[in-house]
Each structure stands twice: as C-alpha cells, then as structure tokens.
A and B are shown apart, each in its own frame.
Chain A
Amino acid sequence: MDYEALAAELRSLRETVAGVTDIVLAGVDGIPIFADAGAGVDPANVSALAAADLGVARQAVEVIGHGALSQTVVFSSGGYMAVYAVGRTALMVVLGDKGLNLGRLLHEAQPVIARISSVLTAQPSPTPKARRRTQTTS
C-alpha cells in the first residue's frame, strides 16, 4: 500500500480545512489502517467507534429512504467527529475542534476520499519475476 500517498492526502486535508485536528483511516470492520493523529487520540478506539457510527448512519439512511449517505457528524460542546465511507471497505474519521469548517470539510473531503479509495484498493505491482512470466505467456 502506498502510505506516502495516503500521508500526502491527509496532510492536504488538514492544511486546507481550518479546525481539522486528527484523521484516521480504518476498515469498515473498525481495524485502523493509517492515522495522522495526536498523542491524545487512540486510533484503535476511534476506528471501532467510527465503524459502529457509520453502520448505524447507513442503516438509518436506508430505512428512511433519503438516498446515499454523505457524512455522519457527531456534534459536541468541544468539537466534532465526522465519518465518511471510503468505498465499500473502508472509512475515514475526521476529528475537529469547535471552529471546524464543516461545510468546507464536506466539499474538500469528496475528491480526497476518491483518491484514498484508489490507493487503498490498488493491487501491489507484480514482482519482476512475475512480470517476466506474464510477458512470456502473452
């Protein structure tokens, strides 16, 4: 997996949207994959909570019949937790302080999610030996 590409995407999101403090990428099963988070944030806990949160939000949208889920946001007196689906297999959690620009986050997150999804699902490039074999058989 191209972790440098993931790091660049998360850095760009933190720099572009005021108030983003931490970002965690995880599987839909709640297992963390990649985190750009401060010392006070436990990615394993956040991933598990976000997976449950996303599952409930998806069910709610489906049952209510409001179309496709865009984001689910937990509002609290000290800040926000926004959770986005990344394809069918992963999710992205964005933590923000009380000043988080939620509108801009939603706007900026969409292209970032599309790129992250392609990085997460990209198949590893074949080894030189395997590549040679492919060339011989074709």
Chain B
Amino acid sequence: MRVVGNPGGLFHLREGAVIAVESPGSPGAEALLLRSGRVSEQDWTAALSEGTGRRSHQATLIARGTIGARELQALITVAVHDGAFATAAGEVEDHIVDSPLDVLLSAADGVAPDLLVLETTRRLDALAAMPFPLSPFRERVVPGSEALARALTDQRRRILDNATGRRTARDIAFVISRGVYPITVEISRMLTEGLLEIASDEASFGSVNWGHTSLRPRARPERAASPDIDQGPLPARHREREGADSRKRTRPSRWPAPPEVLDLSGTEGKNSGL
C-alpha cells in the first residue's frame, strides 16, 4: 500500500501483516544496517551479488555470518515501526493499493496492522504531550546556550554535532543512522533543557549569490551579414608547398629548423598502412 503525501511511505503486506515500511521520512532497515556500520558496504554488495532466486538477500547476509538472524529481525521490526510513525507524522494526501513489490529486507512474521496503528498512535500522542512538541520534518535546530556547559551522552553529542540549523530531526536521524522517533523525542528534550534552539530563518535557508544580472542566450555570430568575410569556397591546399610553409610558421623562434632529411612528406603514401 502506497501512502501518498509528504514524506509518504510504502507499506509492504504479506498475509495481512506489515513486513516492511519504506518512507523518505525515516531511515529504512538498509540505511540502519549500512550507515551505522553493523554491516559494511562490501558485505552488503557481496550478499547482493551472491543472493539468488532460491535464497533471499537477508538469508544470504545471515548465512555469510554478517549479522545474526535475531538481530536482523529486531532491526527490521524497529524500521517498520519507525516508518509507520514517519508516514503518520507527516501529511497524508491519499493511499493506493499497488501490486506486490519486491523488498530486500522484510520481517519474517510481520507486524499486525492493528498493533502497528496502536503503537504509532501512542508515539504521536507521546510526542504531542512533551513540553516542547515538534515535527520531525519542520523545525530545524542549532546548539543552544547550555550546549557547552554540560556533559553529554554519545547520542546527544552526535545530535549537537549535526545540528547545523539546516537540518530537521528527520535529517539528523538519517545522518547518524538512528530511528526518527527516538531522535525527535531526544531533540524535544534537548530543546527543553536549552541544549538546542530552533534555528532562525537565516540559519535554516541562508543563501549566497554571485551578483549575476539576467541570463540571455548567447547570440549567434552573424557571419553572412559581415561584408569582410569571403563566402566563397575554401582555398585549395597544395601539400608540398604549404607543408614546408606551415612548419616555418608554427616553429617557435628559438627552435632550429628541421633538417630536410626529416621531411617525410614524400613517404606519406608508402607508410599509410602502418
């Protein structure tokens, strides 16, 4: 099922259960695996090339010993919940039921839709009830006045390092490869504590220009209209006479003239097959 909107999402269902959710609003299972360093890009690419019709991509990953089956399933389930939250927290315009599409990483048992709706509603309510509720997609943040005064956890330090003023909670979640819901909640707490502040419009959408005036297409040279240019046929070229002349013209002044013995103009036809 495709949920049209901003950011929208793609819900993969099998036998009534949601087995994967892909949304531009939250890092998917692949991004969580790769960007967090749990699986290297080399291993991922190798598993992709090894994966055949008989064995799924995730089965190949597990068979190679890259990641445990239980850890992979847990991570996919986290990504399903996070994708559902991201889709619901944004603008929903429409939904379309598509024909089934392939998905690389899917939850073996899936998540029942009613449980997914319940958990998503709980997350939306929890975020709305926070002292500083914010949208994962709208507010952009910068370090606040308290940022240097306190000892910070590793996650908070990484959020601060990436709070450039141009990034929303969703953008920071992608940069540090964490779920968008936990990052949004953490940013909300940090805003309350003065560790972060909402960025000004200048910090969020600052731009630079190079002072150009308006652009115009390059004008074509009007050759035909110029009386100085001869429109007649090109002059005939005589190889023996002009070859020697052109060498004289292009030779830099301090170079010695080539000896006549190196003039190969007479051998040109003989060597054409070489």
- List chain A positions with a Cβ less than 8 A from chain B: 1, 3, 6-7, 10-11, 14-19, 21, 27, 31-39, 43, 77-78, 87-90, 97-101, 104, 120-124
Assuming A88-B217, A123-B214, is B27 touching A38 (CB within 8 A)?
no
- List chain B positions with a Cβ less than 8 A from chain A: 6-8, 23-28, 31, 34-35, 41, 90, 137-138, 164, 166, 170-171, 174-175, 205-210, 212-217
User: How many angstroms between the C-alpha atoms of A36 and B90 in the bound complex?
Assistant: 24
CB pair A18–B209 under 8 Å, yes or no, is no
CB pair B210–A36 under 8 Å, yes or no, is no
CB pair A77–B34 under 8 Å, yes or no, is yes
CB pair A16–B217 under 8 Å, yes or no, is no
User: How many angstroms between the C-alpha atoms of A19 and B8 in the bound complex?
Assistant: 12
Residue of A nearest to B218 (CB): A89
CB pair A121–B214 under 8 Å, yes or no, is yes
Main secondary structure of the interface of B (DSSP, over half): loop
Assuming A27-B215, A90-B215, A100-B24, is B209 touching A34 (CB within 8 A)?
yes
CB pair B214–A97 under 8 Å, yes or no, is no
CB pair A77–B24 under 8 Å, yes or no, is no
Starting from the known contacts A10-B207, A33-B210, 15 additional A-B residue pairs (CB-CB under 8 Å) come to: A6-B209, A27-B215, A33-B215, A34-B207, A39-B164, A43-B208, A77-B41, A87-B215, A88-B217, A98-B27, A98-B31, A99-B23, A99-B31, A99-B174, A120-B215
Across chains A and B, the number of contacting residue pairs, with CB separation under 8 Å, is: 95
CB pair B214–A21 under 8 Å, yes or no, is no
Assuming A18-B25, A35-B207, A36-B206, is B214 touching A98 (CB within 8 A)?
no
Q: How far is the CB of A94 from chain B (nearest CB, A)?
A: 14
Assuming A99-B25, A120-B214, is B171 touching A7 (CB within 8 A)?
no
User: How many angstroms between the C-alpha atoms of A17 and B91 in the bound complex?
Assistant: 12
From B28, B207, B208, B213, give the contact of A124 (CB < 8 A). B213
Using Cβ atoms and an 8 Å threshold, which residues of chain B touch A43? 208
Using Cβ atoms and an 8 Å threshold, which residues of chain A touch B164? 38-39
User: How many angstroms between the C-alpha atoms of A15 and B31 in the bound complex?
Assistant: 22
Q: How far is the CB of A88 from chain B (nearest CB, A)?
A: 6
Using Cβ atoms and an 8 Å threshold, which residues of chain B touch A17? 6
